[in-house]
Amino acid sequence: MMEDELIKIWQSSPMEEQIKFDKSRLMLEMQSSLSRFNKLVKHGILIEQVAMIIAIPVFLFYIYFVPFVLSKIASILIVIWGIWYFIKLKEWKRKKPTNLTKNYLDYLYESRNYLVMLKKWGDNAIYWYILPTILSVILFLFGPILAGKLNNKMIAIMFVVTISTGVFTYIWGKWRVKTQYIPRLKKIEELIKVMEE
């Protein structure tokens, strides 16, 4: 088979499928599907941001109105952490590669850098996400516990719930890194290698 025949064979496919457009309808559908799509894309980070928007005022309220000193200190720590996390979420959102008009190799580099960053944060989630929140909540609980305001059953339930949440978040984070970030990163690394060789 001649090499140029490849092009001929490839271009014989226009007859294979026939595309038909209803132009005016297409434009209307584009507009509406796009706005819904944009909302969907922002979904994940948005949930976390909304959680922070709710949590920060709640713990600010606790700083003033909870009578226990340890709980006040814990609330201050949670508010500081919440603000920091909210800023981080905004930063991640900004760094997400959305510019599809870049050339293929640059898009691969950008996607790789973004995934490396997410993986790094995912790997270290125990230090910046799980431990600070769980320890702050435990510190918060020690306020009423030391003042003798909670019975043993309540203390046990609260500790079990807090620690279980921490363990679940840890496992879920590890699962996410393993199933979502690492395979995609591997694939992108391979593609970059092929492009550069």
Partner 1 sequence: MSKELEKTFLNALEQNQQKLLRICSVYAKDADDTKDLFQEVLVQIWRSMQTFESKSSIGTWMFRITLNVCLRFRSKENKKQKQFIQMDSITIAKFIPTKEDYGEQEKLAHLKSCIKKLNEAEKAVITLYLEEVRYKEISEILGLSENNVAVKVKRIKKKLLNCIIQIA
64 makes contact with partner 1 (CB under 8 A): no
Q: Are 81 and 132 in contact (CB under 8 A)?
A: yes
Q: Which residue, 168, 93, 81, 58, is CA-closest to 129?
A: 81
- Least CB distance from residue 19 to partner 1, whole Å? 5
Give the C-alpha separation, 91 to 79, whole Å.
18
Q: Closest CB to partner 1 among 16 and 94? A: 16
Please state, in angstroms and rounded to a whole number, the distance separating the CA atoms of residues 74 and 26: 54
Query: Is residue 105 part of the contact set for partner 1 (CB under 8 A)?
Result: yes
Q: By CB under 8 A, which span of 14-22, 63-71, 84-92, 112-120 interacts with partner 1?
A: 14-22
If the CB atoms of residues 99 and 152 are measured against partner 1, the closer one turns out to be: 99
Binding status of residue 15 toward partner 1 by CB under 8 A: yes
Q: x-or-dash pattern for partner 1, window 21-40, by CB under 8 A?
A: xxx-xxx-xx--xx-xx--x
Stretch that binds partner 1, among 8-16, 56-64, 124-132, 136-144 (CB under 8 A): 8-16
- Cα dist. 193→112, 126, 187, 197 in Å? 12, 32, 10, 6
Residues 6+ apart with CB under 8 A from 71: 62, 139, 140, 141, 142, 143, 144
Q: Which residues bind partner 1 (CB under 8 A)?
A: 1, 3, 6-7, 9-23, 25-27, 29-30, 33-34, 36-37, 40, 99-108, 111, 187, 190-191, 194-195
